[in-house]
Amino acid sequence: MATERAGELNGKERAATDGALSILVVDDEEDLREMLTRSFSREGHNVTAVGGGADAIERASAEHFDIVLLDVALGPGPDGYEVCRTLRARRNVVPIIMLTALDSEADAVLGLEAGGDDYVTKPFGLAELRSRIRAVLRRAGARGGGMGADVLSVGQLRLDRSRREVTVGDEPVRLTFSEFELLDALMADPGRLLNRQELLRAIWGDSAYRDPRAIDVHIRHLREKLEPEPDRPRYIQTVRGAGYRLGTG
């Protein structure tokens, strides 16, 4: 399959470009790929654009990207959900924003279930997309976002903000961007009850146009990774009808 490469900068130019990102665009619509490539390249970013799921998996597995913009409904081959699931299964934690033409909360939740960090519904404006990218990367600290070297510990659970590492006992736990941010918000104030809107803001910086059910998806994934018995959680506790809080284990 054809692969488009744009926005290549030599070392001197790249050093002079403040906040340049390496972006993987995955969409089977050639016009959209070209528009995004052209727009982000003009801003000094390094853009790789592919039209199929197999190419996306290959490139994302072999190269470093700061963010992936991933269409849900790709052509023949793996769709966006499968691409996302495959990358997460390979322990690739690159932030992923799903692009979907399906204006449905259920479809957005499916993208998050697959391991996506955020979603944007087509048609979208570039300003909205840039805002979502900034929010994801700001929270991920991908541009050195001034996050302190705080280490949070609750029972056997340990979260290192500067290294973006989580361990339970001596065992490392690999979390996606959104899972890490959600756990950080809960560990920052153990015992405090946080509702879904507060947790949405903790992950993305706002709660507008977000499906609160996304929090339930991430909570379930966190329990599967952190809890010895996910059905009987020690750490992440549900307060029915109100929200979630972190227990002391």
Q: Measure Cα distances from 97 to 126, 146, 178 in Å.
A: 14, 23, 11
**Domain segments of the chain: what residues?**
3-140, 151-246
| Mean pLDDT in residue range 113-126 | 84
| Mean pLDDT in residue range 235-241 | 89
Q: Using the predicted structure, report yes or no on whether residue 245 has a pLDDT greater than 60.
A: yes
pTM of the complete model beyond 0.95: no
Lowest mean pLDDT among 6-10, 109-113, 175-179, 205-209: 6-10
Lowest mean pLDDT among 19-28, 103-112, 113-122: 103-112
Looking at per-residue pLDDT, the higher value among 162 and 114 belongs to 114
**Model confidence band, residue 24 (pLDDT cutoffs 50, 70, 90):** very high
Looking at per-residue pLDDT, the higher value among 189 and 67 belongs to 67
| Mean pLDDT in residue range 123-138 | 80
Written as one string, the DSSP assignment of 156-174 is TEEEETTTTEEEETTEEE-
pLDDT at residue number 80: 94
Q: Using the predicted structure, report yes or no on whether residue 68 has a pLDDT greater than 90.
A: yes
Domain 151-246 fold is Arc Repressor Mutant, subunit A (1.10.10)
**Model confidence band, residue 201 (pLDDT cutoffs 50, 70, 90):** confident
Average pLDDT value for the chain: 81
Q: Percentage of the chain surpassing pLDDT 90? A: 36
Does the domain made of 3-140 have the CATH classification 3.40.50.2300?
yes
**Model confidence band, residue 140 (pLDDT cutoffs 50, 70, 90):** low
**Model confidence band, residue 163 (pLDDT cutoffs 50, 70, 90):** confident
Residue with tokens 């790249």: 14
3-140 and 151-246 in the same fold: no
Q: Which helix (H) or strand (E) holds 235?
A: none
pLDDT digits (tens, 9 = 90+) for 47-59: 999 999 999 999 9
**Model confidence band, residue 2 (pLDDT cutoffs 50, 70, 90):** very low
Q: Measure Cα distances from 237 to 108, 169, 216 in Å.
A: 25, 19, 12
Q: Which helix (H) or strand (E) holds 234?
A: none
Going by C-alpha positions, the residue among 80, 83, 12, 19 that lies closest to residue 46 is: 19
Residue 120 carries which DSSP code? E
pLDDT at residue number 17: 37
| Mean pLDDT in residue range 100-109 | 71
Cα separation, 149 vs 203, whole angstroms: 19
